[in-house]
Structure 1
Amino acid sequence: MADPANELQTVRDYLRYVCSRFSESTLFFGHGTDNVWDEAVQLVMRTLHLPLENNTLFLDARLTLTERELILQRLSRRIDQRIPLAYLLGEAWFMGLPFYVDERVLVPRSPLGELLESRLQPWLGEREPGRILDLCTGSGCIGIAAAMVFEEAIVDLSDLSPEALEVAAVNIDTHGVSDRVSTVRSDVFDTIEGRYDVILSNPPYVDAEDMADMPAEFRHEPELGLSAGDDGLEIAHRILAQARGHLNPGGLLIVEVGNSWVALQEAYPDLPFTWLEFENGGDGVFLLTAEDLETAGL
């Protein structure tokens, strides 16, 4: 059989070949892309350190043998081992920003990015948050993106996993926000001090049934960042029980619970959850104010 590295020469060749290989595979797309073409563009272009957009100038450029072999190696691992592409590249995009990722953290994919792009409006109003907490931060993408939006805010990135915090620290340095963003190891709120104007969290929320049925790609992600007991609410219960003591008056608690949102709603019939809607997809994100929690006796 002919070696593709000898027959395929240009960027255009590799985009076509990768698309063909992806199309005949049983891959799951859900870690930054949702279709064959976008996944192929990301694999080829980012392996070559080329932009994902406005890149037609390079389509007929010929690749070196080293570049060709690296694309094919990553293609093989993506298909044969079902490794999420972000781990192969060491890079994921969130809110238009690149973040370093590896198998110590989940691949960023939260709809909270869309909320941050709107500066948490209309819920924040004219207030500028002084302190923001990204609880269960993982790669740090949500908190760092918040720091980029609210340029005067002090942001804490919290996680139980020291390995995840190592990745978050890399991203803090990459984005040059170490003067305002720092990491803290904490099991939910256990070692968190002080109060915040905004608490953002994408905690583990996958229930036992969904964990058992997940596509192979998710098996490469840390279980600590996904699994949250039989009903997926193990961490959400703890957040709701303790958040009031860490919010300033008028403060916002915004938490993603995914498919577990129905069970959460049923568990707290007296809480006036605001379930947020997103133009770019995603659901199961609630917003509560400090006063909502206080009124409900939490």
Structure 2
Amino acid sequence: MENLYTVQDFIRWTTSQMSQSDVYLGHGTDNPIDEAKQLILETLGLSLFIPPEFFAANLTNDEKKQLFDIIQKRIVDRVPTPYLTNQAWFCGHRFYIDERVLIPRSPIGELINHHFQELLPYNPKNILDLCTGSGCIGIACAYAFPDAQIDITDISLEALDVAQTNIDLHEMTYQVTPILSDLFNAVPEKQYDLIVSNPPYVDDEDMSDLPDEFLYEPKLALEAGFDGLDIIKRILLDAINYLTPHGVLVCEVGNSWVSLQEQYPDVPFNWIQFENGGHGVFSLTCEELIKYRYCFE
């Protein structure tokens, strides 16, 4: 550490350390350079988009020690970077994150950025975000559809505390409403044009093989039974009661898409292709949910 002086020195050294270790990258970055930049710059309270001349700035001894300690936590203890910096980015917006919620990384963000083109016949007036966690999906939807009202739900009161922090951070109090609910149990009796959900979907086999970084995330937000479909099956059965006649359900199931397709071979799941990577997200219209309800029952 005595030979490291500048912001750039620490980014370069941290990149090398990460490249030589077996840390898992996938909580917002996919390469050690971006991971190192996020860790170093946000720890120093600097923007990820600082002017180039800032990289040559010398650091104080206190800043060096702070960086060294946090780099050790990332590489040795395997704590994900967003939990160390309490920040994560989703759909171009910054969110507060801690270990009470999953780290935002859903490919649904790409759909939000494109306003759910080809999935929604019109701009939605009411949106429901099930299993919201940090609230990132619901709040990003509020940015995409400023005239819509968004309800966000979670079974975890701790998660909703984080979501409320983000609602306040983004000044969305009058557009985004948090609801403590086990899926639809406490949801208001109204219909939504769009229901979007990134629920728990990790099956037992995948839970036992997760990288160490995932052990810091709440199990409640990950595990979903033997086949990973415990929550998804409930959503498929009940969503019909909360959708408008032309409403759409968008749901992420990750690797459990294989089990879902095998168990419901007659259901025409629309598996969405992503330009920026990601898989295991389907959409179904209200009409399709009605037509194939017998499968879910």
**Same-fold call, TM > 0.5?**
yes
Asked if the contact 2:152/2:178 (under 8 Å) is kept, the reply is: yes
What CA deviation, in whole Å up to 9, does each residue of 1:1-26 have, x standing for no partner? xxx1x432111111111112212212
**1:238 corresponds to 2:238:** no
**SS of 1:227's equivalent?**
coil
- Inter-partner Cα distance in structure 2 for 1:21 and 1:123: 43
Residue identity in the other structure for 2:228: G
What is the aligned partner in structure 2 of residue 144 from structure 1? Answer: 139
Determine the structure 2 residue equivalent to 1:185: 180
Deviations 1:216-241 (A, max 9, x none): 00000000000000000000000001
Q: How does 1:95-244 map to 2 (within 5 A)?
A: 95-125=91-121, 127-193=122-188, 194-244=190-240
Q: Which amino acid aligns with 2:115?
A: R
d(CA) in 2 for partners of 1:231, 1:123: 27
Residue 289 (str. 1) matches residue 285 (str. 2): yes
Conserved in 1, the CA contact under 8 Å of 2:240 and 2:290? yes
Query: Contact (CA 8 Å) 2:193, 2:243: kept in 1 or not?
Result: yes
- Mapped to 1, the partners of 2:81 and 2:87 lie a distance apart of 8
Give unpaired runs (5+ residues) of structure 1.
none
Aligned with 2:223: secondary structure? Answer: coil
What corresponds to 1:278 in structure 2? 274
Q: Supply the distance in 1 between the matched residues of 2:258 and 2:13 (Cα, whole angstroms).
A: 43
Q: Verify: 1:57 aligned to 2:32, yes or no.
A: no
1:69 shift after superposition = 1.6
Letter in 2 for 1:57: E
Q: Of residues 252, 269, 274 in structure 1, which corresponds to 2:265?
A: 269
Distance 1:65 1:106 in 2: 33
Q: Given the two structures, how large is their TM-score scaled by the length of structure 2?
A: 0.96
- Whether the 8 Å CA contact 2:27–2:105 is kept in 1: the answer is yes
Give structure 1 regions of 4+ aligned residues with deviation exceeding 4 angstroms: none
Q: Answer whether contact 2:153 2:181 (CA < 8 A) is retained.
A: yes
Match of 1:248 in 2: 244
Letter in 2 for 1:69: K
Moved more, 13-22 or 153-162: 13-22
Work out the CA distance in 1 between the residues paired with 2:64 and 2:85: 15
Correspondence for 2:12 = 16
Q: Which letter maps to 2:117? A: Q
User: What is the rounded CA distance, in whole Å, between the counterparts of 1:116 and 1:167 in structure 2?
Assistant: 21
Q: Unaligned 5+ residue runs, structure 2?
A: none
- Write out per-residue CA displacement over residues 120-160 of structure 1, whole angstroms, 9 at most, x where no aligned residue: 001213x1211101100000000000001000111011000
What TM-score, normalized to structure 1?
A: 0.96
Q: CA deviation at 1:54?
A: 5.2
Report the number of matched residues: 293
Q: CA RMSD in A?
A: 1.1
Q: CA deviation at 1:53?
A: 3.1
Bigger shift: residues 56-65 or 195-204: 56-65
**% same residue:** 52
